[in-house]
Structure 1
Amino acid sequence: MSGNDAGDENGDGRQKSDEDLSARLKRLENRIEAKRPATPYRSAPGAGAPKGASSLGLAMRLSTEFIAGVLAGGILGWLCDQFLGTKPWGLIVLLMLGFATGVYNVMRVSGSLSRPAVKSAVEKHQDRERS
């Protein structure tokens, strides 16, 4: 005798309880989905990347954004030093600004920065219905 022998007596009851549990679970999923806020066209993890983008593509974009900021700051700083005679201060200041810009761009593309809340048409409609 195994522990499963007792289950043969309640075969119909167990089947009904499984169906009931599945139906309750489906209702719960529908209620959760209805309360979940509408997501923007960007997904959370790789918010700057389209849905089909690979991880390698996202990594390349992030590194390019950072390097471009640093290089632009460095080149502009060098040019300021050459034409204005401010060696080495133009390069130092603009290189630091380029670094900060690169970090900002990486955070913006990756979705780490929160954007101001903009209500979608669906949220506005729901607000009107509530009031």
Structure 2
Amino acid sequence: MSGNDAGDERGNGREKALDEDLSARLKRLETQIERKRPGAPPDRSLRSGSSTGPSPLGQAMRLSTEFIAGVLAGGILGWIFDRYLGTKPWGLIVLLMLGFATGVYNVMRVSGSLPTAPTKDRDRP
């Protein structure tokens, strides 16, 4: 509405040609930039391990819980056996040692230190 509306109608073909030329130059420039741009550096915010696995703190908490649960279960069962069977220190000692061994076994199993036993499902082709 600047008063040059009549002049705009005459230059429409020329403006379209300029727009097409500009679009073509822009596309060429984009392809040149993409060729010269180095590859994206690896994201350092991701851990070196699997991103779907538990965090190191979560894994440490699970390992310590597995160990403490084994020792506590052995101690409680030993105390109950001693109380009801009258074997005063021996039930607690034996079952506390079994609880310790179970806790160590669970920690090794969860951490992946133990090889997994072959099962029928895995042996099938």
Structure with the larger RCO, 1 or 2 (CA within 8 Å, 6+ apart): 1
Q: Provide the TM-score with structure 2 as the length reference.
A: 0.54
Output aligned runs, 1:20-99, within 5 Å.
51-99=52-100
Give the equivalent residue in structure 2 for 1:105: 106
- SS state at 2:54 partner: coil
Q: Provide the TM-score with structure 1 as the length reference.
A: 0.52
Give me the CA root mean square deviation: 2.3
**4+ runs of 1 displaced by more than 6 Å?**
none
Larger Rg: 2
Amino acid in the other structure paired with 2:117: P
CA distance in 2, matches of 1:73, 1:97: 6
5+ residue gaps, structure 2, are: 1-48
CA distance in 2, matches of 1:120, 1:55: 32
CA distance in 2, matches of 1:113, 1:88: 33
Number of residue pairs aligned between Structure 1 and Structure 2: 75
5+ residue gaps, structure 1, are: 1-44, 125-131
Deviation at 1:53, TM superposition (A): 1.1
